[in-house]
Structure 1
């Protein structure tokens, strides 16, 4: 009986090890697993460093819906002051829900309001009509305003964004990406006016004719777990979209979720955002090179006689004194670049007593430099350059003898 059990145990171990579904080399240690979200595209970015922490399809083109209004707000901030007066236009009157005119109270073209109230309605209530108020007050019409939008997109060096409308209502040629939208959101957040508006819970928009519109922020995460601002969006083709900025323990992280699910309770996109933000605050960078490790060898051209004479090629082990780390995601693995610059090739540097130069780690919109050092021992270094000095002394000595010989010959004549 015992013999049969041993045979069966051996058989199961054999199947387990040699099964095609078992791959030791592919095994990955469990840790902070990527969050499972409904959004088709998403990204989180460290606001201080621009490091991409989390990403899901960051470069696929999606419809941005009302997150478009972040760029409309940027152009309003750059072209008008908060106390400037903007007229309500016929184009604004024609906009569908969600708008102040359709949802709360009819507004007649020719009525007016301050730019501050327009900004409140634009970003807090996400009013489609007020996006046209901005467009048609800053430009001669919405088409001309879209040109300004795309000029600004080009200025931000965004390759996958094109805007047609100031409010983001669906148009097949109106698109962006979660990455591009994160850049637009970071740009918008630089403005104190926009930042304060996104962070306001409720306000009252007034017109010159005496109409008042109490509004609340559509961002359900505002004030929760460090959320200090954001912008919502929805159309049927775009799905639910959300930009949110968080501040926790002295650190700001921006999140973007695009094309999530719109459910009756309107919770999915907000749950998606909470997942990727919480994950991003918990995520630790992966060590690319450990502190005081050798990161490779480099042939260094060293001129022992400083500014004159030939070079000596010396193979130098390169050491890094600090941990070099990055956020390990698919985008960073694909785009990560490592550049070494040797700017201080001196005797002291080759001895390891001063930096040889820098190692620069580059990601899409982030770079960081680390000092690199020679790991040659004194003995190895001297071993490589002493033959050069001996040869140099020999050449000098022979040259001296030749000069002396020529001098004697010339004296003898």
Structure 2
């Protein structure tokens, strides 16, 4: 009795331990407050996490990433940008209102303009960049939307250079589109360098020096190498961030999170949870190796050149697992078979390509036949046996006929010689 009780205790202990280990290892998708979010691997363009990624949202000051990109592409760090009078009318946060008064006509270097734009998130400086790069704000907005289109941001429309949206509902984008913008920003050395700073000393040519701090509270923490914050009443708290760990680079975007004033931590908690999940997430098998993914019907002649035609269904397989990150996105999966010669068919020779596509991520895999030429020969063995018998009979008849003809000729020659 004691042994039975002990055995049961050991059994349930093992079951509990195994179950606990499984739960501990499994990476569950994070629960976040943000209403729209994405995590993307910037090397492969794989989407690791998605939540309403194509839902149109106000991006607030994340807009300034596009403004910064156009600044970097059209000006240098040493170029001087003139502060226009209209910039004074922009709402806080504004360098001229909240840091140090600026007189219209004062100038900023491109370097200081970029630092104030991305670290302090100066709304007036965004307006200054717009006029100095585009000539007018309106022309600059056109440049922003053209650049968005070039980047593949198909669900984006910019109306302001700084993201202020009090007077418009037409300034919008999506989490997915912002991941494309973040990727472009990461690819620009000047922007990448600026976003990585915790603070910077800046000034106008006629003003005193000031220290502006990065509003991204996560900079330098657990692999965070940059980002851009945002907030309006319409947008909620937003953050687009970049992370690097162990040679991998991820882009995270959170839109519509809570602004839990005065601590302002929620969007940063959302982002941290997404980054941790992104680096630890494991793929799941979408299509297992050696499984049939499709089939093609082919016609061939049982005997080359002659004989009846026969149709055969050739199963199409893959020789490796196709694994994807578990998201709410539906992958597109297609396969294309090339020209097939039935008589040279091999299970180890690729007959085409299978393609997996999810948004901007695409990967191809070799596909193979589930049948070989020997399988086809075996399936028609009766025909070949019969054909062989017919050939033997025909050959025998031919030999017999030739033999008779030769005998007649010999007899005829013998008569002549007599």
Normalised-by-shorter TM-score class: 0.7 to 0.9
Match status 1:47 vs 2:42: yes
Match status 1:277 vs 2:275: yes
Match status 1:211 vs 2:213: no
Distance change in 2, residues 1:281/1:302 (3 Å): farther
Q: In the comparison of the two structures, how many residue pairs are matched? A: 364
* Offset of residue 355 of structure 1: 0.7
Aligned counterpart for 1:259 among listed residues 252, 256, 278 = 256
Distance change in 2, residues 1:378/1:258 (3 Å): same
* Offset of residue 191 of structure 1: 0.6
Distance 1:99 1:308 in 2: 83
* Offset of residue 388 of structure 1: 9.2
Gaps of 5+ in 1: 1-28, 399-413
Q: Deviations over 1:105-145 (max 9, x none)?
A: 10001110111111111111111111011101012321221
- Determine the structure 2 residue equivalent to 1:155: 150
C-alpha contact 1:343 1:357 (8 A) present in aligned 2:
yes
TM-score, with normalisation over the residues of structure 1?
0.81
Q: Which has the larger radius of gyration?
A: 2
C-alpha contact 2:226 2:243 (8 A) present in aligned 1:
yes
Distance 1:359 1:342 in 2: 9
- Determine the structure 1 residue equivalent to 2:296: 299
- Determine the structure 2 residue equivalent to 1:131: 126
- Determine the structure 1 residue equivalent to 2:320: 322
- Determine the structure 1 residue equivalent to 2:187: 190
- Determine the structure 2 residue equivalent to 1:175: 172
The aligned runs of 1:76-115 (5 Å cut-off) are: 76-115=71-110
- Determine the structure 1 residue equivalent to 2:416: none
* Offset of residue 253 of structure 1: 0.9
- Determine the structure 2 residue equivalent to 1:3: none
SS in 2 for 1:219: coil
- Determine the structure 1 residue equivalent to 2:288: 290
TM-score, with normalisation over the residues of structure 2?
0.80
SS in 1 for 2:242: strand
Q: Deviations over 1:323-357 (max 9, x none)?
A: 101112112xx3x1111111252458622131111
C-alpha contact 2:61 2:162 (8 A) present in aligned 1:
yes
Distance 1:92 1:252 in 2: 36
Distance change in 2, residues 1:389/1:121 (3 Å): farther
* Offset of residue 300 of structure 1: 4.4
C-alpha contact 2:300 2:342 (8 A) present in aligned 1:
no
Distance 1:253 1:340 in 2: 30
Q: Deviations over 1:235-282 (max 9, x none)?
A: 122111000110111111110000111111010000000111111211
RMSD of aligned residue pairs (Cα, Å) = 2.8
- Determine the structure 1 residue equivalent to 2:232: 235
Distance change in 2, residues 1:353/1:36 (3 Å): closer
C-alpha contact 1:302 1:345 (8 A) present in aligned 2:
no
* Offset of residue 375 of structure 1: 2.0
C-alpha contact 2:119 2:214 (8 A) present in aligned 1:
yes
Q: Deviations over 1:31-73 (max 9, x none)?
A: 4322111111111101111111111111111110000000001
Distance 2:357 2:184 in 1: 21
* Offset of residue 392 of structure 1: 11
C-alpha contact 1:301 1:311 (8 A) present in aligned 2:
no
Distance change in 2, residues 1:330/1:134 (3 Å): same
Once the two structures are overlaid, the 10-residue window that deviates more, 312-321 or 101-110, is 312-321
SS in 2 for 1:356: strand
C-alpha contact 1:239 1:262 (8 A) present in aligned 2:
yes
Distance 1:273 1:385 in 2: 63
SS in 2 for 1:70: helix
Distance change in 2, residues 1:390/1:356 (3 Å): farther
Distance 1:238 1:191 in 2: 26
Distance change in 2, residues 1:102/1:349 (3 Å): farther
The aligned runs of 1:392-411 (5 Å cut-off) are: none
Distance 1:381 1:183 in 2: 50
SS in 2 for 1:180: helix
SS in 2 for 1:281: helix
Distance 1:60 1:222 in 2: 27
- Determine the structure 1 residue equivalent to 2:377: 382
Once the two structures are overlaid, the 10-residue window that deviates more, 373-382 or 76-85, is 373-382
- Determine the structure 1 residue equivalent to 2:222: 225
Distance 2:161 2:387 in 1: 74
Distance 1:320 1:388 in 2: 31
Distance 1:135 1:392 in 2: 83
Distance change in 2, residues 1:87/1:389 (3 Å): farther
